[in-house]
Amino acid sequence: MFRVLQMLTLCFAITVLGCSKNQLEQCNDNTPLYTLADFPIGVAISPTQLEYNSDYRRIAFAQFNRFTPENALKPEALHPEQNAYSFFVADSLVALALQHEKTIHGHTLVWHNQLPSWMQNFKGNKQEWIDMMKVHIQTIVSHFADKVPSWDVVNEAFEDNGEFRENIWVENIGKDYIKLAFEFAREANPDALLFYNDFNVAEKSKKCKAIVEHLSQLKEDGVPIHGMGMQLHIFNSSPSENAIKTAVDAFVEKGFLMHFSEIDISMNANGDMKLTDGKLQKQGRRMKALVHIFQQIPTDQQFGITVWGISDIDSWIPSFFGREDYPLMYNENYEPKPMYCGFREGLVN
Ligand code: XIL
């Protein structure tokens, strides 16, 4: 009886104090995230921030063991002219990362955004387009062959409705450009792990189905596609965790390595941003749930979890979408938010 009373009192206290079982424990970041995980923990990195911002640098090196250059390995950064490559910034970033024993994930070889203008305006027949894409992929992959062990080869090739996205590649080469891109990448580095990467995969079931079917078919045909990058630019409110799990399972069943490749959790879905403790807690629980979904993937298919930046003020979301937002694990003072604690709790519980 005494026990029962004790339990009731405890439950009452917990409810009154707002300390429900959903409340994340406050935490610090003294124990690096990557030391708590059995798989790599990654972050999108800006070379400028890494060089000039000491808080950013401290956290990047302390917490993570994989870096995805956020923009520095994109076509417009590396391949500004048809016959000229610009490797200096990328090489310095990669060298610094390797000195600190970080792994690099390469992002991205073939995409419709952040292309140099010569590429967008390239004129040629189908074979000339194929040759151009081949030289682009192979020059970059070979350049980093002993330093970058994995690549997003093709990024965002499908529309939300499951159709192929219209882009310069499909228009000039045809749907086979995906298969060719992966084959060219393998020729340049037979040891690299090669990924397809996309967003809205949990939100849009037609998109998810189309990608699963396309990648599985290519894999059956012997095309070297090893993994799927689910970007996971998600909201506090959607998609549901069930929808995320369903999408993950669809790729896992087909044997793909899984990368949660660009996580951020936006709080401002409809433009009325007000930062509340409740929203921060919710964001933390979302992060924890993502980690738990990832942990249910068979270990030999767990490529890793990557967040798309360090602090809210480094995030691409406010400037890209023109809205106030707080989608990352650290606040503007580089202090860990509940989202960080959610990541941590997900790894340890
Ligand atoms: C974003 C970068 O974070 C921004 O700095 C840049 O201005 C635009 O691109 N999907 C991707 C990433 O695959 O490359 C994008 O990164 C975010 C959406």
pLDDT digits (tens, 9 = 90+) for 138-163: 999 999 999 999 999 999 999 999 99
Q: What angle do CA 231, 297, 256 make, to 5 degrees?
A: 65
Nearest Cα neighbor of 197 from 184, 182, 183 is 182
Confidence at residue 15, expressed as pLDDT on a 0 to 100 scale: 41
Q: What is the mean pLDDT of residues 33-51?
A: 98
- Of the residues 308, 313, 317, 328, which should be mutated to test ligand 1's pocket, given the most ligand atoms within 8 Å of the CB? 308
**Distance (Å, whole) CA 261 – CA 256:** 14
Query: Which whole number is the average pLDDT over 21-44?
Result: 93
Distance of CA 277 to the CA centre of its chain: 26
- Residue to substitute in 43, 67, 113, 230 for testing ligand 1 pocket (most ligand atoms within 8 angstroms of CB): 113
Q: How far apart are CA 29 and CA 34, in angstroms?
A: 11
**Portion of the chain with pLDDT greater than 70, in percent:** 94
pLDDT band at 8 (very low <50, low <70, confident <90, very high): very low
Output the residue whose Cα is nearest ligand 1's atom 3.
316
**What gap in Å lies between CA 261 and CA 24, rounded to an integer?**
24
Measured from the CA of 319, which atom of ligand 1 is nearest?
Answer: 7
Does residue 315 have a pLDDT over 80?
Answer: yes
Q: Which two tokens stand for residue 241?
A: 């965790």
Ligand 1 pocket list (CB less than 6 A)? 70-71, 155, 231, 262, 316, 320
Residue 65, both tokens: 């063991």
Active site residues: 156, 262
Residue-wise pLDDT tens digits, 202-231: 999 999 999 999 999 999 999 999 999 999
Q: Whole-model pTM?
A: 0.94
Q: Across all residues in the chain, what is the average pLDDT?
A: 94
Upstream peptide bond of 108 is cis (omega within 30 degrees of 0): yes
Higher pLDDT, 297 or 7: 297
Q: Which atom of ligand 1 is nearest to the CA of 315?
A: 3
- The minimum-distance atom of ligand 1 relative to the CA of 44 is 3
- Indicate which residue's Cα is closest to atom 12 of ligand 1: 70
Whether 5 shows a pLDDT value over 80: the answer reads no
Ligand 1, atom 4, residue with closest C-alpha: 316
pLDDT by residue (tens digit) across 79-101? Answer: 999 999 999 999 999 999 999 99
